[in-house]
Amino acid sequence: MAQAKISIFQRILLIAVSLLFLLLAAFIAFPLSYGSTTEYAGNASLQLSRCQRLAKDALIMQHGTQEEKTDALSDMQVLLPLFSEEQDRLARNRDTDAQAALIEARPSHRAVVASASAIVASGADPVQVQILVSNSGEYNDAMHEYLLILEHQATDATRSLVIVQGVTLLLIGACFVWLHLLGMQRLKESSAIMEQKF
């Protein structure tokens, strides 16, 4: 009867250890939201760079040489659709704080897109250039706030991951200790049975 109980305990513990190893492997291989957070941060940084380039190109379109204006126009034609579409992808981040920062950035983003589109279509009207430059500053401020939020998210995700991995390792260690103790107990019982036979 005792041996049957030990066998049952061993099976339960072996199953528990296997599950804990799978859990640890999952947390190591798939660090929850950390990957998507770093991707959002990378894309947001690109948006900041694009916005700054659009503002610079607009000023070149207004004050540069003909050759510089041609290059700036070409650059704006490439940047504008990327700048417009990437903001929609950033909106897939469903974190409440991140959404609030993106909502704050929305009016300035739309203004930058509208004024840049007007400049590409009709040339560097001083009013449109001023609108683009002033709104690019407001957009940058909002997106810097968004990046700070993502940085906090990444830190929290990493901290949670380390805690879970530590607890999982402790549980695995405890299971191995139990297995060792049960194995020693079974060995003693087997030795006692052998002594009784002889």
Mean pLDDT, consecutive 10-residue stretches, the chain (198 aa), reads 57 70 62 65 93 96 94 96 92 86 94 96 94 96 92 71 67 69 69 63
Q: For position 160, what pLDDT does the model report?
A: 64
Q: For position 51, what pLDDT does the model report?
A: 96
Query: Phi and psi (nearest 5°) for 165?
Result: -65, -40
Q: Does domain 2-197 have CATH number 3.40.462.10?
A: no
Q: For position 70, what pLDDT does the model report?
A: 95
Q: Is the dihedral of CA 44, 46, 51, 52 positive or negative?
A: positive
What CA–CA distance (Å, rounded) separates 19 from 50?
47
What CA–CA distance (Å, rounded) separates 142 from 103?
9
Whole-angstrom CA distances from 18 to 102, 169, 176, 184 are 43, 12, 11, 21
What CA–CA distance (Å, rounded) separates 180 from 157?
35
Amino acid at 5: K
- The total of other beta-carbon atoms located within 10 Å of residue 31's CB is 19
Mark 162-186 as b/e (b = at least 16 C-beta within 10 Å): eebeeebeebbeebeebbeebeeeb
Q: For position 15, what pLDDT does the model report?
A: 75
**pTM score over 0.75:** no
